Chains A and B, each alone.
Chain A
Amino acid sequence: MTEFFAMGGYAVYLWPSYVVFLAVLFGAWGTALWRGRRIRRAILRERRGRNDKR
């Protein structure tokens, strides 16, 4: 197992590159979902506010 994580001495370079790639991939996905929820909430708030005024 340790041997696997050591990656023949390349661990310092290899694991960060996987981390960077996956972080970009899932980070972009996560922020997209989060942004969608935020926008839906903002629209809802705007609509509620307008209805109250009426």
Chain B
Amino acid sequence: MRGVTALLRRELQRYWRRRGDALQAPLIFCLICLLFPLGGVPSPEHLARYAPAVIWAGALTACIFGLEALYRQEMAEGWVDAMLLSAWPMPLVLFIKALVHWLFTGLPVVLLAWPMSRALYFPAEQVSAILYGLLLGTPVLVLLGGIGAGLTAGMGRGGLLTSLLMLPLYVPVLIFGAGCGVAAHDGLPITGQLYLLACMLVAAMFLAPWASAAALKIASESS
């Protein structure tokens, strides 16, 4: 248990030291949300209708960009190899890493989604639906993304490939996450979507770290 807190502290410090880098993903999220009105009709009814889609497109993109930072430096520094050789259970290590990564890249997106939804004229009483969807959905994106980031960790420029591999797998999260916002906008209940997102989160929490560990192991095997 002491080891877990030590690892958690190390990760938190590492992200805190590079907090400027970690903020890039939330900034991209804001930019994408602001580009949509400029690229279309900025009337309230159009924007409100498409606000969940825009918010989620921004969240997906921001998450994909953020994944670059997940293992790249660790791989270059040899930290991954050291961890694989150590007695640490790799899935647990990667779960902690994903958690901290989400705190620094996912949580800001969830918080910024509130002003962004309002900027897109999404009705104020329903904004919480979007936020709940993001709160349950973005950790799934990070956990799943760990698999893709692990597979491409050994490459020089794997960012584009990671997004190609991961975006199709994000479809269910997008459907139910954005579905929360759409249903709330239409005055429908959102509990069904939230339950399904919670299921996905639990499944991803248990399965994705194992797959990420396997992916990193394959990536570090390079001759």
A contacts B: CB pair < 8 Å: no
